[in-house]
Amino acid sequence: MAIRTILHFPDKRLREKAQPVTFIDDEIRTLVNDMAETMYAASGCGLAATQIGVPKRIFVVDPAAKDEPSQLMVFINPEIVARSGEAIWEEGCLSFPSVNEEIKRAKRVKIRALGLDGKPFELEAEGLLAVAIQHEHDHLDGVLMIDRMSMLKRKMITRKMEKRAQRGNRNQSEAST
Ligand code: GNR
Ligand code: NI
């Protein structure tokens, strides 16, 4: 198992549309293990393969609170087949460190996916799990939480993240000289 690097906006790979998994082999099992390890190391409650630069339709979610036993869920080739209601939730994203904003999404979703064993399953979710499923599913289509905010917030966050990336690049080049 290994912790992978989480890409930060505005990395262009976050905008790629992920491709379906055709076969669940050792490479996919290793990838999913690494995704879970990376998510837990970053204290996230979800992670899409897109966020570690792998354009495959896979995400992991763990909706358990900190004081509850972990509850890892793996979704391969997921499809949201039903949505209902509306709910506003304060979201964060590991690709936008220290950004937390309220976003409106469906309150309940029904999702169909393959598990790590290759078997199809269906799940109805609400609350944090429903929010996380929609957030992660967006990542697989290159859709980010700023796309669901007002234009003003989107511009402010984009500017902040671009500045931060420039600072990061400068620090990296200083470190290598
Ligand atoms: O860790 C995360 N927390 C979170 C909180 C509210 C709504 C969505 C999320 S997902 C996020 C991890 C992440 O960036 N997944 O893509
Ligand atoms: Ni995210």
Sequence ranges of the domains in the chain:
12-148
| Domain 12-148 grouped into CATH 3.90.45.10 | yes
Q: Which of 8-12, 22-26, 65-69, 151-155 has the lowest mean pLDDT?
A: 65-69
Q: Strand pairing partners for 114?
A: 76, 120
Residue 173 C-alpha to ligand 1 middle, in angstroms?
A: 30
Does residue 176 register a pLDDT over 60?
no
Tens of pLDDT, residues 62-85 = 999 989 999 999 999 999 999 999
Residue whose CB lies within 8 A of the most ligand 1 atoms, among 91, 109, 138, 139, for a mutation test: 91
pLDDT at residue 170 in the model = 77
Indicate whether 43 pLDDT > 70: yes
Confirm if 80 and 161 have CB atoms less than 8 A apart: no
- Tens digit of each residue's pLDDT (9 = 90 or more) over 25-37: 999 999 999 999 9
The neighbour count for residue 144, using CB atoms within 10 Å, is 21
Question: Is 122 known to be catalytic?
Answer: no
Q: Is residue 47 very low, low, confident or very high in pLDDT (cuts 50, 70, 90)?
A: very high
Query: Taking phi first (over 0 means left), then psi (-120 to 50 degrees means alpha), and beta for anything else, what does residue 163 get?
Result: alpha
> Which residues form the pocket of ligand 1, taking CB atoms under 6 Å from any ligand atom?
44-48, 51, 89, 91-95, 131-132, 135-136, 139
